[in-house]
Amino acid sequence: MVKRFLGWRLALVVVVASLALAGTTVAFGGSSGPNQGSTTSGGAATRAVGDTRWVVCNGHLAVGSACQVRGRGVLVARRLGTGQFEVLFDINVRACGYVAAVGSPFSSGTEATGQITTVGRATDVRGVFITTHDSAGNFSDRSWHLIVQC
């Protein structure tokens, strides 16, 4: 009976340890995957896990104007038309996450309320296409903040 009890406990410890080890591997992403550094087309640099790029854009400038107020890893950020913008970064951002928010690019004041959308730029793996809208959903120029996490 004692042998049976110890054998069962040992098996349980092995299972729990295996699950814990598997959880650690998943949490750290293992040693392979799409974000483990890749070479890109279009002259973009190799990317490593944890790369963060960001930009703050003044959305109230003339069409074609560079709208970047500040940022990291940005090649260009420009207004394409009413409520339409593109940002090109110095790395491939196709497999990264994009988070944007309407907000003032300055240290004081506020931006008009509105909505913002993001999507990878179809024509360049380094790019993000952004649209901004008023509260009714119409294209409208808004200033915004974008962070790209790879």
The confidence score (pLDDT) of residue 12 equals 33
User: Which residues constitute the domain of residue 7?
Assistant: 1-31
42 assigned to some structural domain: no
Residues 6+ away with beta carbon under 8 Å from 145 = 54, 55, 56, 57, 100, 101, 103, 105
* 78 and 130 inside one domain: yes
Structural domain count of the chain: 2
How far apart are alpha carbons 102 and 66 in whole angstroms?
17
- Joined tokens for residue 24: 């650690």
* 25 and 64 inside one domain: no
pLDDT in tens, 32-89: 333 333 333 444 455 556 789 999 999 999 999 999 999 999 999 999 999 999 999 9
* 16 and 84 inside one domain: no
Burial class (CB in 10 A: 0-12, 13-18, 19+), 108: exposed
pTM higher than the cut 0.75: no
Helix (H) or strand (E) holding 114: none
* 26 and 83 inside one domain: no
pLDDT in tens, 100-117: 999 999 988 899 999 999
